[in-house]
Structure 1
Amino acid sequence: MAARDRQGPGQGRGIGLATAVAAAGGLLFGYDTGVISGALLFIGPEFGLGEGGRQLIVSGLLAGALVGALAGGAITDALGRRRTLLGVAAVFLVGAVLSGLAPGAGTLLAARVLLGLAIGVSSVCVPLYIAEIAPRASRGRLVSMNQFLITVGILLSYLVNSLFAEAGSWRWPLALAAVPALAMLVGLAGAQESPRWLVLRGRLDEARTALIGRTPEEADAEIAEIRAAARDESRWSWADLRRPQLRPALTLGIGVAAVNQLVGVNAILYYAPTILEGVFGSETGAILATVGIGLVNTIVTGIALARIDAWGRRPLLLGGLAVVVASLVALVVLFLLPSQQGVVGILIVVALCVYIAAFAASLGIAIWLVNSEVFPTAVRGKAAGLGATTHWGLDLVIAATTLTLITSLGESGLFAIFAVIGAAGFVFLYRLMPETKGRSLEEIDAQMQARAGRR
C-alpha cells in the first residue's frame, strides 16, 4: 500500500465515524423517499385528498430535492462540508417532526418540501465529503456506502410502514425519521472538516491537521496536489461544457440519468402500495408486499456494488436493462388479465421484484457511476451536476403524473410506456456506453473525446 494510504487505528476510527455519520444522510434520503408510499394510503382519506392531492404530497419532496440539488454545490462550497451536513441533519430533524405532527395537508406538504431540500443538498454533499476525507485505497467502497444506505433507508421505511399498517397510522412512520436525523446531528459534532475544502480556503494549517496519519512531507504533497487540481478546475466554466469534445460524455451522462427515471422505478417505489392495493384487497397486504420489493432492492444493490469492478459496467447495465424491459412487458400482460387476484397477484409481485432486482444491478448504480467516470477531472463536478439535475427533474415528473396515467391508461398502459422507453434506452446505451472497468479516468476521457472527433 502506498505511504499516503497508511493509517493508524485512530485515523481509521475517525474516518470510519465521519463516513458513517455522513452516510446517514443516504439512509435519511432513502427513508424519507420511501416512507410516503405506505403512508399515502392513510393520508389521503384523513385529509380528503384526491388523485391530484396525493401526487402533490409525493412530488413536493421531489420539488424540494431539485432545488436543493441545484443549490447544494454552492452551499457546500460556501459553508464547508461539515457545516452543510450539520444544517442538513437539522432540517431532516425539523422536517420529520413537522411531518408527524402536521394538522393538515398544507403543513404536510411544507414539511415534505423541507425534507426534499435536505435530500437534494445531501445528495451533493454526502458523496463529496466522503470522497474528500476517505483514504484513496478505500474511497470507492466508502463512497458506495451512501448508495447502499439509500436502499437500506427505503427498506427500513417499508418495514416501519408495515408495523403501523394495521393501526392505519401514517404519523409515526413519518416522525420516526427524526431518530437517525438526531443521531447524524450529534455524530457530526465531532467530525472533521474536509481537508480539500480547507486548502481551497487557504487554511493550510487546519488542512494539515485534518490530514491525520500523514507525515509532514506526505501532507505537503497532498496539499500541493489539491491546489493543482483546483487551478485546473478553475480554467473551466459552465459555457465550456458546450465544447464539442465533451458532447459524447454529456450525452451519455444525461442519457443514463433520463433512462434511469423514465423506466419508472420511482413510480413503483412511491406508489407500489397504491398499485397493489387492488391486487391484495387491503392496505396491509399491499404494504407487506412492498417490504419484499424493498428487501430485493437492498440485497441486489449490495451485491452489484461489491462485484461491479469484477463483472464490468457495460454487461451489468445492458443485461440489467434488458431484464427491466422484459419485466415491464410481463406486468403489461398480467394487468391486462381479467383478474389480478390469486396466482396472478403473486406473479405481479414476482415481476415487480425481478424488475427492482434488475434495475438495482444496472441503472440504479449506473447513474452515479457513469457520471463519476466519463467526464474529464477538471469539469466532472459541473458536468455530473447536469446528470443529477436531469435525475431529480424527471423524478418530479414521474411523481406528479403516475396516478393520473394509471387513471387514464390503466396499470398496463403505464408499464407499456416504461417498457417502450426502456427498449429505446437499451439501444441508446448499447451504442454509447463504453466499458470502463479497469481503465484509468484519463483512458476513458481519451476514448470519449475520440468519439467526438469521429462525428
Structure 2
Amino acid sequence: MNTLNSSLIDRLPQKTNQKTLLICFLAALAGLLFGLDMGVIAGALPFLAQEFSLTSHQQEIVVSVMMLGATVGAICTGPMSTRFGRKKSLLLSAILFVAGSIGCAFAYSLEILVISRWLLGIAVGVASFTAPLYLSEIAPERIRGSMISLYQLMITIGILAAFLSDTAFSASGNWRWMLGIITFPALILFFGVLTLPESPRWLAMKGHTVNAEKVLILLRSNDAEAKRELNEIRESIKEKQKGWQLFRGNHNFRRSVYLGVLLQFMQQFTGMTVIMYYAPKIFEIAGFATTSEQMWGTVIAGLTNVLATFIAIGLVDRWGRKPILKLGFCVMAICMGILSYMFYTGITTPAEQYFSVSILLVFITGFAMSAGPLIWVLCSEIQPLSGRDFGITCSTSANWIANMIIGATFLTLIDSIGSANTFALYGLLNIGCLILTLLFIPETKNISLERIEHNLMKGQPLRLIGHS
C-alpha cells in the first residue's frame, strides 16, 4: 500500500498549477525591462553621438556605464534579498527602472545621461539577480529550467521591442522617446510584482513555515507535493545563510561560486553582447550603409533572438543543459570564424552582404538556444541554499563585469585590430567555452536543488553534481 501511495504521489505533480505559470510570467517581466534597456541603446547611440558630439570612447562609456551600475546593483541585492525578500527586491528594481528611464528621456547633458544610465544599470542588476532566483524557488523542479528560460525569453522580447521602437523613432531621430518609453513597462512591472507571493524558500529561511506552506499549496498541483517540497526545504535550511563565512571556510562552496562566475564570463565572451549593443555598427561593417537598412537589420536580429529562445524553452528540460550548451558553443565558434574570414576578404557584393547577415542570424540562434538562457538556469541551480544569495551575487556581478568589459572594448578593438581579427578573437573564445563546458559544467536536468547541494557538499566533481 505504501508503495502504491508513493507511486500515486509521484504521478500527481505531472500537471503544473496554472497559478504557478502566471506567477512565473509576472516575475519574468523583469527580464522584459532588462532587455529593453540592453536593446534601446543600440538604436539611440548614433543619435546620442550626434546630439552630444560623442567620440568612440564616450560612446563606449554611455553603453558600459549601465553595466557598472548593474554590477553595483547585483552586489547590493544579495544582502538586501536575504533580509527583505525577493518580492521587495523586484519592487525596488521596478522603481529604479522608472526613475532611470525618465532621467534618460530628459537628459540635457552627457553627465545627466550617464547618471541616468547608471541608475538603470542598478535596476538591471537588481532584476538580473532577483528574478532568476525567485523563479528557481517558485517553480517545481520538472519545469524549473523552462521557467528560468522564460526570463531569458522576456529579455529577448525586450530587446526586440527596443529595436522596433528605435526603428519607429529613427525617422525623426527622437532619441528621448527611444530611451523614455521604458517608463511604461516599468510601471506595469511594479504593479504586477505587487500581486506576487513571496518565495516559499525565503519564508522558510526566515522561520515563516506556515506562510511557506500556504504559498506552496497555492503553487503546487496538490497538497502532497507541497508538503513534500516543504520537508525538503526544511532539511536544506537547517544550515542558515552564511555566505561569506561559508565561502571562507568551505572548499566545496567556493567551487560552486567559482563555477557560477565562470559560467557568466562564458556567456558574455561569446560575443553576443556586442551584437545587441552595437548592431547598427555591425551591419554597417557588413556593407549596409543607410540608417534604415541598419535599423531593420537590428530588428531581424532581435526577432531571431526571440524565436530561437523558444528552442531552449522547449528542449532544456528534455535534452538537458549540457548537450544544448555544447551545440550552441560549436555553432557560435563556427559562425564567428566565417564572419572573420568574410570581413578579412571584404564584403562587396549584395550576395556576400546577405550571406554575412544569415551567418550572423545563425550565430544569434546558437546563443539564444544555449548560453543565453541556460547560463542563468545553471547559476540559479548550482548554489547551496546556505550560501545561495552570496553565490548568485558573485555570479551575477561577474556577468556585469564581463558585460562591461565587452561593451567598453568593442569599438576600440574594431579601431585597433580590425573587424576580422575582432570576430576571430570571439570565435576562439567560443572554442574555449566549449572546452570548459566539457570539463566542468554539470547536467542538472530533473534534479532537485537539494540533491545538487548534497552532491556539491559531498565533494563530487563539478561536472557530476547533477547526478541523482
Say whether the fold is shared (TM-score over 0.5). yes
Which of 359, 373, 394 is residue 367 of structure 2 equivalent to? Answer: 359
Contact 1:296 1:353 in 2 (8 A): yes
Q: Does 1:127 align with 2:132?
A: yes
For residues 192 and 102 of structure 1, the distance between their equivalents in structure 2, rounded to whole angstroms, comes to 36
The match for 1:200 is: 205
SS in structure 1 opposite 2:195?
coil
For residues 207 and 170 of structure 1, the distance between their equivalents in structure 2, rounded to whole angstroms, comes to 46
Q: Does 1:102 align with 2:112?
A: no
Which of 54, 61, 84 is residue 56 of structure 1 equivalent to? Answer: 61
Specify whether residues 186 and 239 from structure 1 end up closer, same or farther in structure 2 by C-alpha distance, changes over 3 A only: closer
Q: How does 1:11-90 map to 2 (within 5 A)?
A: 12-13=18-19, 15-90=20-95
Which of 303, 311, 317 is residue 319 of structure 2 equivalent to? Answer: 311
For residues 142 and 82 of structure 2, the distance between their equivalents in structure 1, rounded to whole angstroms, comes to 25
Which of 271, 279, 283 is residue 272 of structure 1 equivalent to? Answer: 279
Give per-residue Cα distances to partners, 1:405-448, cap 9 Å, x unaligned: 11111211211211222222222322333444455663796489
For residues 324 and 227 of structure 2, the distance between their equivalents in structure 1, rounded to whole angstroms, comes to 40
SS in structure 1 opposite 2:279?
helix
Which of 349, 354, 378 is residue 370 of structure 1 equivalent to? Answer: 378
Which of 339, 354, 368 is residue 346 of structure 1 equivalent to? Answer: 354
Q: Shift of the alpha carbon at 1:211?
A: 4.4
Give per-residue Cα distances to partners, 1:356-384, cap 9 Å, x unaligned: 11122222233223324445554444334
Q: Shift of the alpha carbon at 1:276?
A: 1.6
The match for 2:394 is: 386
Q: Shift of the alpha carbon at 1:325?
A: 1.0
Contact 2:442 2:462 in 1 (8 A): no
AA matched with 2:82: D
SS in structure 2 opposite 1:403?
helix
For structure 2, list consecutive stretches of 5 or more residues without a partner in the other structure.
Answer: 1-7
What RMSD, in angstroms, separates the aligned Cα atoms of the two structures?
3.2
Q: Shift of the alpha carbon at 1:209?
A: 4.7
Contact 1:29 1:153 in 2 (8 A): yes
For residues 114 and 414 of structure 1, the distance between their equivalents in structure 2, rounded to whole angstroms, comes to 30
**Which has the higher mean CA deviation after the structures are superposed, 216-225 or 339-348?**
216-225
The match for 2:336 is: 328
Quick one: percent identity of the two aligned structures?
34
Specify whether residues 383 and 307 from structure 1 end up closer, same or farther in structure 2 by C-alpha distance, changes over 3 A only: same
The match for 2:4 is: none
Specify whether residues 444 and 431 from structure 1 end up closer, same or farther in structure 2 by C-alpha distance, changes over 3 A only: farther
SS in structure 2 opposite 1:163?
helix
For residues 75 and 244 of structure 1, the distance between their equivalents in structure 2, rounded to whole angstroms, comes to 25
Contact 1:85 1:126 in 2 (8 A): yes
SS in structure 1 opposite 2:237?
helix
Specify whether residues 348 and 242 from structure 1 end up closer, same or farther in structure 2 by C-alpha distance, changes over 3 A only: farther
Give per-residue Cα distances to partners, 1:223-281, cap 9 Å, x unaligned: 55434322235476445467444566555443332222122111111011122235211
Which of 235, 257, 277 is residue 228 of structure 1 equivalent to? Answer: 235
Q: How many residues align?
A: 452
Specify whether residues 298 and 418 from structure 1 end up closer, same or farther in structure 2 by C-alpha distance, changes over 3 A only: same
For residues 435 and 184 of structure 1, the distance between their equivalents in structure 2, rounded to whole angstroms, comes to 33
AA matched with 1:344: E
Q: Shift of the alpha carbon at 1:333?
A: 1.3
Which of 436, 439, 459 is residue 449 of structure 1 equivalent to? Answer: 459
Contact 1:81 1:125 in 2 (8 A): yes
Q: Does 1:415 align with 2:423?
A: yes
AA matched with 2:187: L
For residues 142 and 366 of structure 2, the distance between their equivalents in structure 1, rounded to whole angstroms, comes to 29
Which of 174, 177, 181 is residue 176 of structure 1 equivalent to? Answer: 181
SS in structure 2 opposite 1:311?
coil
For residues 4 and 95 of structure 1, the distance between their equivalents in structure 2, rounded to whole angstroms, comes to 47
